[in-house]
Structure 1
Amino acid sequence: MPLREDFFRDPLFRLTPPYDLNDPFDSKPTKEAIRKKIAFMTDRIGEGAGYISDEEVELKHGDLSRHLQTELHRFGIISMTENPRNLLMWSHYADEHRGIVVELYNSEDTFKHSKSEFHACRLTAKEAVRVIYDQNRPSKNIPDECIFSIYEDAFFKHFALVKSDHWMHEKEHRFIVPTSHADIAMFTLNDKNLPVSGLEDYLTQRNLPFSRKEDCFLFEHENLDHLISSFGKTIGDQNLNSLGHFRYYKRANPDSIRGIYFGCKVSDTCIRSAMSMVLKNQRFSANLNFYQAKESSDRFEIEFFPIHEKSI
């Protein structure tokens, strides 16, 4: 990720919805898979999923088709990798080696999930799940358990976890979390020249708790989904969408953050500043390790060296 001071104050990871990811195929159910799922869900004879025409899908089951197409839009993805040394990923995702890699311990406690949240959504996984790479999109060959199940979670999870083998070098694992389970929602104005005082007064008058960060409004609440819904109702969802957009974040538990790796182009000054912020911050573990990437002298690769508070 890019090196951002905000992260060292509060270790937030964005829940990125599929339509904001850099792969146009990501988490997008195919037409044939949707047809098979609808055939099974609407089967009244009990003989399994038969054939259903495009015309019948559109005329009789349009709402169900749209649900299967867009349900994953309610979720956010946190992407991890097995390989912190991948040069392409450092260039693409870590500001051309000027950013950082964060090492997380992958467990049920990486992020906090309330019992009610977890049981309310069968698709949510507390641990990151390995992505499957394939030449073909899930279509006629989609596994039977994704179709012949009264639940839809296997169907959606399959599309969220299968990517083209062009991405195989990323060795990705994913947390899949509903944006309604976010710890923080950040509302950013589309036009930075718009006066924010009116919106600030509007929220205050309606007792909607928020904080300000430049042109952003931050919402943090134990019932965040209800708060955001109230925000949309008071201002009008259509007006809200034209005014700005939301981003959703999960906060990592302190003990789950095991290491921070600074890119080979990060200056010593930036490293000192970041380490100072982290070491004074209870949102990070006292056992956290720091590393700096260095260019190998004889291979096209980077090596990591431990750094300590007094070593830079």
Structure 2
Amino acid sequence: MVNIGNIQLPDFPLLLAPMEDVSDPPFRAVCKANGADLMYTEFISSEGLIRDAAKSVQKLDIFEYERPIGIQLFGSDVETMGECARIASRANPDLIDINYGCPVKNVACRGAGAALLQDIPKMVRMTEAVVKATHLPVTVKTRLGWDDSTKNIEDVAERLQDIGIKALTVHGRTRVQMYKGEADWTLIGRIKNNPRIQIPIFGNGDIDSPEKALEYKNRYGVDGVMIGRASIGHPWIFDEIKQFVRTGEHRPAPTVADRVAVCRQHLDFSIRWKGEIVGLFEMRRHYANYFRGLPDFKPYRMRLVTLDSYAETSAVLDEIAERYAEELV
């Protein structure tokens, strides 16, 4: 077992990364159903939550079947982050996670996310404020450093553990790298093998196949892995990794019928959560991912992203299932 405070996870747990405009409750629902062990909300702005901004407040929505689930927060002000942790705790998640890894300009340039990697004393004060503000376990997601000359994650890991975080996830790139190049897990492995480190260490970055998950588990000794982009349109990756780690054998690839069924589940939840108009609109970003690789799919995608009724959309999904089942026999 892997323990995060009082939360018990299976050996080598698989975590769903918090992703803006992706890891909302409908997306989390299909990932949970396909093997994700621990999930997080989209990252929530502390300033937005303090102002009671509708978008930030809605991101606090969590459901019992999602547990264990963490609410992820980001911000640039120490006191505001503490107050935000108190507000988030009232939504009754299983843990609070702090985002020190987001590299995008409109976050980092406001002094939040990965920007804190340039001010480790402030990162420590902010983390301590969050730990003191909640009764829940506090975890952190961050990167190797700001750039190649400031890969300070080994020191960061020790300092954050010392003030009470219960787990650390490290993305194997610097902020300057954004999502380019290959993730470097060498320092992640060194943190895990540091005898001073007693909390779980999770690796993140480029885990896009069962083979790579098992290879990195064995090479770097991490307690588990966090998966982000590889799960978009392919929530089966969690169960695929679990079976491969357990047996060394691959699960059969999802059929077109499987893809249609999970896409429809995602759509149904999106509509239940946000209503038909918004639910349909927000699903539009997912269709191309669910049906990636199907030949001559563009006309179907164009229809799916323009329809504004559930009945019509459902009919197109039925049509896709029927056509490609025949073509791929």
Asked whether the two chains share a fold, i.e. TM above 0.5, the reply is: no
The TM-score, its normalising length taken from structure 1, stands at: 0.21
Larger fraction in helix? 2
Higher relative contact order (CA 8 A, sep 6+): 1
The TM-score, its normalising length taken from structure 2, stands at: 0.20
Larger fraction in strand? 1
Pick the structure with greater CA Rg: 1
